[in-house]
């Protein structure tokens, strides 16, 4: 067993605490200086079914999950049934022998230990964590320190359970500390929330919809530190219209949803465009259409997002790939929406939203709030002034003596409804001039990232960047990742693809939606590797498919 890189699955039924256990295990290794990547897999159930967390641990950067695991922690028998085949030849199963009749592996009397410590049944997960710490040769003081940071209720009982389980098993190996400092661990949704806050987010409005829901939870839980008002509405139509009203009043506002909720918001996206009211929407994709598979991932909203809303107008669409990009681009999209007074969509997916990654905290110093163009108070105010670059000065009700008028109708510079041909043309062309400015803005941003070198190229977007990077590095291929998808960074993509002899597209949808986008800009792909079962590509899976 490689003491520097291995994978762990902790699984059980919904309600048994496998996700919390996975996070504590990850933070145990993080405390020792290892790099972490956690993939979350759970069903749309409150109790029962099968949930698991898969923790990848390495002394090097780890960007995706592997097929095989070295340790399987089973809170129920179903976890063994589901995952025993994934174990490496020297892998170990650690299980609750009070509930599971199994003649292999390392049995821990988790329920007995919990009762003896005066705990409650869910603390069986703490018992398995304690046993794992001993098996891998980690000093109990390290685990105790992690538990003190992570457990808010019944800490002493949890520590007692962990210590009893720790003492009940033998050490089989020794995982040494790397000497590196631990890094903050964040989910993508947490990073999105923090990035928006750094750009001046004042209000977050949402109706809970997996996998975007935890943005709402995180901001609500940290209201005092982050100073963001959070509001849960009765549906997504109410959410987006309240957000437009909030932005009209001068509050930096963001909303979050998934595909079905985003569908309900599309009329209001056009309202945002016509009224030139900044609007930022998180669309965290899941497997669809309709309700689809609500707790699994996909990338099938791309074309819908690009065409969302009726009429001719401009928008930003940005697709970050990991926690660091989520933080940076959440900040950037908020600033861009307010600079250009236009709708802007942060297109992510369940894999980014809910998986856990190490966060580079030095990025905090690289972001700030950027102000939009404000009315200077000189002369009479025209909300829709026919500016040369299409961007009119903003003012908010109550801040100036003039009327601040906003409308969904076609209008003149003052916001008064018009229907004559010349006025319609004037305002439509004014709004479209913003698109030229947005294209210039994109040209000056790092809208496309490249990794490695080679004449064979993988094009990927969103959360598939991690696995594509690791495979590209193994196979000597170049990886190209567009981040801004509208306005499309044509020049940067062309430059990134210079010398490419073969282009392979990697996507998590059934119809190669990015291929349609690339084709419209004259970029042809040679092969497509598509996955649409709701699960991410593993390293071995993508490598095998590319080799084919």
Q: Is residue 292 part of a domain?
A: yes
Task: Give the pLDDT of residue 369.
Answer: 98
Q: Is residue 179 part of a domain?
A: no
Q: Looking at the structure, tell me whether residues 10 and 92 fall in a common domain.
A: yes
Q: Looking at the structure, tell me whether residues 41 and 62 fall in a common domain.
A: yes
Side by side, the strands of the sheet bearing 69-74 are 106-108, 87-96, 69-74, 5-14, 48-58, 35-41, 356-358, 185-187
Q: Looking at the structure, tell me whether residues 435 and 453 fall in a common domain.
A: no
Instruction: Provide the CB-side half-sphere exposure for 437 (13 A, CA).
Output: 19
Q: Is residue 172 part of a domain?
A: no
Q: Which of 412, 445, 478 is a domain's end point?
A: 445
Task: Kindly report, residue by residue over 420-452, the tens digit of the pLDDT.
Answer: 999 999 999 999 999 999 999 999 999 999 999
With contact defined as beta carbons under 8 Å apart, do 108 and 97 qualify?
yes
**Count of Cβ atoms closer than 10 Å to residue 144 Cβ:** 17
Q: Which of 366, 398, 423 is a domain's end point?
A: 366
Q: Looking at the structure, tell me whether residues 13 and 128 fall in a common domain.
A: yes
Whether the predicted pLDDT of 164 surpasses 90: yes
Q: Looking at the structure, tell me whether residues 155 and 121 fall in a common domain.
A: yes
Q: Looking at the structure, tell me whether residues 163 and 219 fall in a common domain.
A: no
Q: Is residue 359 part of a domain?
A: yes
Task: Kindly report, residue by residue over 36-92, the tens digit of the pLDDT.
Answer: 999 999 999 888 899 999 999 999 999 999 999 999 999 999 999 999 999 999 999
Task: Give the pLDDT of residue 314.
Answer: 87
Q: Looking at the structure, tell me whether residues 316 and 270 fall in a common domain.
A: yes
CATH number at residue 496: 3.40.50.920
The total number of structural domains in the chain stands at 4
Q: Looking at the structure, tell me whether residues 294 and 306 fall in a common domain.
A: yes
Q: Is residue 460 part of a domain?
A: yes
421 Cβ contact list (under 8 Å, min separation 6): none
Q: Which of 512, 520, 539 is nearest to 529 (CA)?
A: 512
Task: Kindly report, residue by residue over 285-336, the tens digit of the pLDDT.
Answer: 999 999 999 999 999 999 999 999 999 998 999 999 999 999 999 999 999 9
Q: Looking at the structure, tell me whether residues 259 and 401 fall in a common domain.
A: no
Q: Is residue 505 part of a domain?
A: yes
Q: Is residue 141 part of a domain?
A: yes
Q: Looking at the structure, tell me whether residues 428 and 331 fall in a common domain.
A: no
CA distance 239 to 252: 14
In this prediction the pTM is 0.96
Domain span including residue 131: 5-167
With contact defined as beta carbons under 8 Å apart, do 321 and 482 qualify?
no
Q: Which of 392, 413, 445 is a domain's end point?
A: 445
CA distance 454 to 107: 49
Task: Give the pLDDT of residue 4.
Answer: 84
Task: Give the pLDDT of residue 1.
Answer: 65
Q: Looking at the structure, tell me whether residues 39 and 61 fall in a common domain.
A: yes
Q: Is residue 177 part of a domain?
A: no
Q: Looking at the structure, tell me whether residues 140 and 285 fall in a common domain.
A: no
CA distance 338 to 543: 42
């Amino acid at each position: 067993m490689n003491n520097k890189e291995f994978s762990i699955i902790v699984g059980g039924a919904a309600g048994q605490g496998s996700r919390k256990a996975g996070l504590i295990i990850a933070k145990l290794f993080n405390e020792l200086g290892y790099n972490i990547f956690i993939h979350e897999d759970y069903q749309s159930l409150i109790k029962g079914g099968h949930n698991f967390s898969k923790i990848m641990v390495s002394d090097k950067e780890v960007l995706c999950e592997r097929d095989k695991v070295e340790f399987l922690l089973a809170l129920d028998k179903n976890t063994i049934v589901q995952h025993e085949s994934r174990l490496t030849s020297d892998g170990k199963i650690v299980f609750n022998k009070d509930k599971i009749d199994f003649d292999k592996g390392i049995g821990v009397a988790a329920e007995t230990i919990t009762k003896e410590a005066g705990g409650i049944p869910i603390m069986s997960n703490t018992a398995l964590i304690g046993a794992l710490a001993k098996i891998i040769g980690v000093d109990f003081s390290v685990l105790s320190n992690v538990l003190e940071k992570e457990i808010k209720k019944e800490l002493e009982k949890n520590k007692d359970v962990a210590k009893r389980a720790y003492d009940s098993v033998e050490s089989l190996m020794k995982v040494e500390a790397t000497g590196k400092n631990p890094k903050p661990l964040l989910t993508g949704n947490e990073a999105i929330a923090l990035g928006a806050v750094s750009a001046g987010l004042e209000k977050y409005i949402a109706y809970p919809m997996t996998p975007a829901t935890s943005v709402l939870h995180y901001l609500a839980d940290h209201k005092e530190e982050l100073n963001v008002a959070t509001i849960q509405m009765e549906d997504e139509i109410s959410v987006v219209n309240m957000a437009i009203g909030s932005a009209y009043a001068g509050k930096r506002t963001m909303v979050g949803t998934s595909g079905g909720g985003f569908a309900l918001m599309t009329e209001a996206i056009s309202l945002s465009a016509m009224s030139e009211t900044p609007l930022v929407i998180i669309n965290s994709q899941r497997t669809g259409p309709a309700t689809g598979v609500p707790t699994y991932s996909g990338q099938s909203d791309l074309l819908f997002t690009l065409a969302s809303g009726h009429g001719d107008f401009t928008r930003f669409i940005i697709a970050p790939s990991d926690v660091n990009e989520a933080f940076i681009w959440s900040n950037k999209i908020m600033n861009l929406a307010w600079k250009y007074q236009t709708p802007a969509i942060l297109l992510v997916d369940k894999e980014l939203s809910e998986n856990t990654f190490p966060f580079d905290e030095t990025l905090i110093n690289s972001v700030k709030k950027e102000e939009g163009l404000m009315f200077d108070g000189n002369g009479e105010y025209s909300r829709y002034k026919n500016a040369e670059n299409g961007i009119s000065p903003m003012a908010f009700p109550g801040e100036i003596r003039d009327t601040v008028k906003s409308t969904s109708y076609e209008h003149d510079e003052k916001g008064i409804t018009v229907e004559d041909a010349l006025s319609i043309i004037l305002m439509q062309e004014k709004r479209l001039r913003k698109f030229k400015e947005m294209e210039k803005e994109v040209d000056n941003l790092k809208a496309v990232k490249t990794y490695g070198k080679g004449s064979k190229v993988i094009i990927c977007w969103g959360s598939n960047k991690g696995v594509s990077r690791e495979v590209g590095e193994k196979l000597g291929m170049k990886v190209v990742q567009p981040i801004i998808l509208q306005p499309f960074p044509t020049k940067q993509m062309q430059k990134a693809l210079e010398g490419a002899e073969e282009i392979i597209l990697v996507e998590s949808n059934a119809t190669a939606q990015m291929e349609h986008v690339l084709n419209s800009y004259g970029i042809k792909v040679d092969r497509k590797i598509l996955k649409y079962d709701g699960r991410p590509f593993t390293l071995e899976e993508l490598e095998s498919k590319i080799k084919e």
